[in-house]
Structure 1
Amino acid sequence: MTQELSHITTDEIPIEVLRQDINEICGAFEIEPAHREGPSHGLARSQRMGGFDAALVSLDAQHVNRTRTCIRRDPAEYLYMLVQDVGECVVHQNGAATLLRPGDMFLVDATRPSQFIYDGKLSHQISVHLPRDEMIGRFGSICEGGVAVDRTDPLWVALRAVLCKMTQCPPGAGTQLSEAFYGLLGAYLHQRHTQLPDARGQIVEQALHLMARHFRDPDFGPSKLASELRVSLRSLQRYFEPLGETPGQRLLHLRLARAHSELSGGRCRDGAVADCAYRCGFNDLSHFYRAFRQRYGTTPGAVAALSGNAGVIG
């Protein structure tokens, strides 16, 4: 179990007060409470951590959004290293969805819209404010767009250790810790940047493996595939672009290829073309016939008839 860093205690608080505190400390955000009536549990307070300004935030909201309107109203001077301390949160930014559990970290780009989903469950987070000009000057564009820190990477352990020290040092101290944090974060960002194509290739490889396992399930589609891989559907579609097809097209071609193999190999007995379609993951026969003819230039029945299944109607 990951050690808690913030030690936040919360009381019931009017949502208007929580909104005001968060906007004053963290910038412009829209907060959707879990309950329309009555107070929420929450707290937002500023704290100095190892040379950085930081915020300790606790809330049980439904979700929190940083919209384009918020961004126009509040110029983004910071990137935020969001540290999940207690509870869970799903971060949506730049077309990707990332689940944060205790100990997870996500570098939020405040210049781009983002959403943080809590589903009304109490969540404690630490937000370390990293000056944007400083970050861009040190690392360039590789720190932009929203970056999840992989907790299986050894650098995550080092970053976590420095964060722990930052929470314990006196408010006026911490210059060396902040430099250590910059150094470790820079090492992680550069390593991630050089390995990103391989990481995307691994996701595509996992996607193809899952398709091969589950294509016979008619409910298994691109959205369910993306959920299994813990990426957004939009991200998954981008990862498939080098293949020249979408995840949905690859899944359809896999189902059609299996159906064609069964029909042409004499494994479709007694004229049961429909049974073959259902076995191969189709639940709409008209769609199956249309897609089959478009791909192979003939009907399923004609392919089955050629294999010796006389009497099959296609």
Structure 2
Amino acid sequence: MAYWSLDALPAKERFPFWREVLCQAFTPLSAELDGRRGDEPSGWVRSARLAESNGAEIASRTQVITHGRSEIGRTDEHFLFVNVVLEGRCVVEQDGRRAAIPAGGFSVVDTTREYRQHYIEDPGHRRWRVLSYRLPRTRVLGQLHDPGSVTATLQTGERTGASAVALSTMLGVWRNAERLDPTASLAAETAVHAVVVAALDNVARRTASWDRAQVDGALRAEIERHVQRNLRDGDLSAAATAQRFAISLRKLHALYEEGEQSYARMVMLKRLEACASDLRAGIPGTLGDLAKRWGFSDLSHLNRAFRKQYGTLPSEYRVSSVGWD
């Protein structure tokens, strides 16, 4: 687990380090200390990675953190931050909404748009402390009825309900993050995504304006990026992909029912496109190697699928593309 602290730095270097290093570590942010206070800045960050997500526990003094136009322009990837307030409180603003988040509550901000968070320290501990999960944006929003309705809203950790389950899951995963092997880390990440979606969907369902086609399209796009990234080494069975995105098999197949191709056909086309690309590029190796590299059971399987798609065998395609057999 990575750890950064201001306490070992000279007082005059602490806040510049916080602003220029720590506030850029997860997504570009701008921080300002509360001008009414004369206390020297202090704080620390612990960070741990799950499979494709990141968790961080952060503590500091009262301050305002903003993600404005300048910061958006310097953001290479877009995420949702799910911020659980552990000590102190936070006033969060985004999309015209403003919510006060007490200790034990959590909220979400979207890095594609401007937001403002005013973290206010607990007087007894003289700090605020938050657990922040950085989640892939489209993977979460693609499963919500109204993605635009969930930012800057209070999710409470009441004793029952989806928010309570989400809160206890996020805390439990974080407490054990250092001890998870890759398989357990992936399972924990999937659980966090699923419970966050369930909690946020309670908010999203309160609104009547949502575009199912747009939501499903965003989820399909994220699934297809996952498939593309894992063509060579990943388990791309329908069951594994549904589990990866915390959706049912029925939901996965329904995403493709109204399109031109099924989920299985989409995966097959991506494998064939990868083979054709290698053949055009003249990648050395046998056609059997090519079949194995891109997930075909054997060369006969590749030959059948390739001829059906391209009207020619891979060997013929290679000759016509690069002039050698």
Assess, with a 3 A threshold, how the Cα gap between structure 1 residues 22 and 145 changes in structure 2: closer, same or farther. Answer: farther
Name the residue aligned to 2:307.
none
Which amino acid letter does the alignment assign opposite residue 178 of structure 1? E
Name the residue aligned to 1:33.
33
Assess, with a 3 A threshold, how the Cα gap between structure 1 residues 55 and 21 changes in structure 2: closer, same or farther. Answer: farther
How far apart, CA to CA, are the structure 2 residues paired with 1:194 and 1:145?
A: 10
Task: Give the counterpart of 2:154 among 140, 148, 159.
Answer: 148
Assess, with a 3 A threshold, how the Cα gap between structure 1 residues 122 and 168 changes in structure 2: closer, same or farther. Answer: closer
Shift of residue 49, structure 1, vs aligned partner: 5.0
Aligned residues: 190
Contact 1:87 1:124 in 2 (8 A): yes
SS at match of 2:165: helix
Name the residue aligned to 1:87.
88
Name the residue aligned to 2:199.
188
SS at match of 1:31: strand
- Does 2:85 correspond to 1:101? no
Name the residue aligned to 2:164.
157
How far apart, CA to CA, are the structure 2 residues paired with 1:128 and 1:119?
A: 20
Shift of residue 12, structure 1, vs aligned partner: 7.2
- Does 2:50 correspond to 1:43? no
Contact 2:19 2:31 in 1 (8 A): yes
Assess, with a 3 A threshold, how the Cα gap between structure 1 residues 186 and 86 changes in structure 2: closer, same or farther. Answer: same
Shift of residue 164, structure 1, vs aligned partner: 2.3
How far apart, CA to CA, are the structure 2 residues paired with 1:100 and 1:167?
A: 20
How far apart, CA to CA, are the structure 1 residues paired with 2:145 and 2:97?
A: 21
- Does 2:134 correspond to 1:129? yes
Contact 2:57 2:132 in 1 (8 A): yes
Shift of residue 150, structure 1, vs aligned partner: 3.8
- Structure 1 segments of 4+ aligned residues over 6 angstroms from their partners: none
SS at match of 1:118: strand
For the aligned residue pairs, the C-alpha RMSD in angstroms reads: 2.9
How far apart, CA to CA, are the structure 2 residues paired with 1:53 and 1:110?
A: 15
Give CA deviations for 1:100-126 in whole Å, capped at 9, x if unaligned. 111111011111111111356621111
Name the residue aligned to 1:73.
74
How far apart, CA to CA, are the structure 1 residues paired with 2:138 and 2:145?
A: 10
Assess, with a 3 A threshold, how the Cα gap between structure 1 residues 45 and 188 changes in structure 2: closer, same or farther. Answer: closer
**Percent same amino acid at aligned positions?**
19
Give CA deviations for 1:9-49 in whole Å, capped at 9, x if unaligned. 97375101111332332211111123587740111232235
Assess, with a 3 A threshold, how the Cα gap between structure 1 residues 144 and 43 changes in structure 2: closer, same or farther. Answer: farther
Which amino acid letter does the alignment assign opposite residue 106 of structure 1? S
Contact 2:47 2:56 in 1 (8 A): yes
- Does 2:22 correspond to 1:22? yes
Assess, with a 3 A threshold, how the Cα gap between structure 1 residues 143 and 12 changes in structure 2: closer, same or farther. Answer: farther
Contact 2:144 2:204 in 1 (8 A): no
SS at match of 2:113: coil
How far apart, CA to CA, are the structure 2 residues paired with 1:89 and 1:70?
A: 20
Give CA deviations for 1:174-222 in whole Å, capped at 9, x if unaligned. 322222222222223333222236xxxxxxxxxxxxxxxxxxxxxxxxx
Which amino acid letter does the alignment assign opposite residue 15 of structure 2? I
Unaligned segments of structure 1, at least 5 residues: 1-7, 198-314
Give CA deviations for 1:45-97 in whole Å, capped at 9, x if unaligned. 32235863112211114311111111112244211011101111111111111
Give CA deviations for 1:121-180 in whole Å, capped at 9, x if unaligned. 621111101012322444475267614324446111111221122113224333222222
* TM-score of the two chains, using structure 2 as the length reference: 0.51
Task: Give the counterpart of 1:11 among 7, 11, 25.
Answer: 7
How far apart, CA to CA, are the structure 2 residues paired with 1:114 and 1:132?
A: 15
- Does 2:174 correspond to 1:167? yes
Contact 1:25 1:55 in 2 (8 A): no
How far apart, CA to CA, are the structure 2 residues paired with 1:86 and 1:10?
A: 19
Assess, with a 3 A threshold, how the Cα gap between structure 1 residues 97 and 12 changes in structure 2: closer, same or farther. Answer: farther
Assess, with a 3 A threshold, how the Cα gap between structure 1 residues 132 and 21 changes in structure 2: closer, same or farther. Answer: same
Assess, with a 3 A threshold, how the Cα gap between structure 1 residues 58 and 194 changes in structure 2: closer, same or farther. Answer: same
Name the residue aligned to 1:291.
none
Task: Give the counterpart of 1:178 among 181, 186, 189.
Answer: 189
Which amino acid letter does the alignment assign opposite residue 82 of structure 1? N
Name the residue aligned to 1:259.
none
